[in-house]
Amino acid sequence: MTKVAIITGSTRPGRKTYDIAAWVLEHAQARDDASFELVDIADFNLPHIDEPSPPILGDYHHPHTRRWAQTIAAYDAYVFVTPEYNHSTSGALKNALDFLYAEWNDKACGFVSYGVEGGIRAIEHLRLVAAELKLADVRSHVALTLGADIADGRIDPTRSRQAKLDAMLDDLVAWGSALRAVRDPLAAR
């Protein structure tokens, strides 16, 4: 079964990313075609990149990096829940992505963004990062707007947003499953 991590994209105090990720998880768990888990980057206490070797070498020196790598390696696909900060994603999510390389390779990813304008620019930047990490990003995404979909601390997306989440998860599960053959050609036989 395809394993999907729903990754929070912020560690900021008062962040909305955890509640949005919990909404995605609750919605996703109604499916029977994959398993879904929430991965909170705040739980990993990743400092600004402190590894002496580039991640592409896989030579991790620090326990926090090895723990992060082991967690990420366990999944076939990822949903990144990202705020939009200054027309991009958060520094915390970018840092978490930059810590690793091979653990992301040949897997699928999708995006749920949020912000005043829905966080679309954060997704656009993350698509560039995903390509460099050899992540296959699915076209479908969810863009939640502060005020309309998120108000008074509640996540209350419209039905159209829920339909977009279903479409993104459909694509993500299909690609996450298909890319297993790329990662392990013998297992695909």
Task: Write down the pLDDT at residue 38.
Answer: 98
Q: What is the mean pLDDT of residues 5-15?
A: 96
Task: Write down the pLDDT at residue 100.
Answer: 98
- The answer to whether residues 10 and 93 touch, using CB atoms and an 8 Å cutoff, is yes
Rg of the chain (C-alpha set): 16
- The answer to whether residues 12 and 92 touch, using CB atoms and an 8 Å cutoff, is yes
CA atoms within 13 A on the CB side of 19: 16
Distance (Å, whole) CA 10 – CA 158: 23
Q: What is the mean pLDDT of residues 84-102?
A: 97
> For the chain, what percent of residues have pLDDT higher than 90?
88
Q: What is the mean pLDDT of residues 111-122?
A: 96
Q: pLDDT (tens digit, 9 = 90+) per residue, 20-60?
A: 999 999 999 999 999 999 999 999 999 999 999 999 999 99
Taking 80 as the threshold, does the pLDDT of residue 106 lie above it? yes
Q: What is the mean pLDDT of residues 122-146?
A: 97
47: left (phi over 0), alpha (psi -120 to 50) or beta: beta
Taking 60 as the threshold, does the pLDDT of residue 189 lie above it? no
Task: Write down the pLDDT at residue 188.
Answer: 53
Domains of the chain, first to last: 2-183 (3.40.50.360)
| Mean pLDDT, all residues of the chain | 95
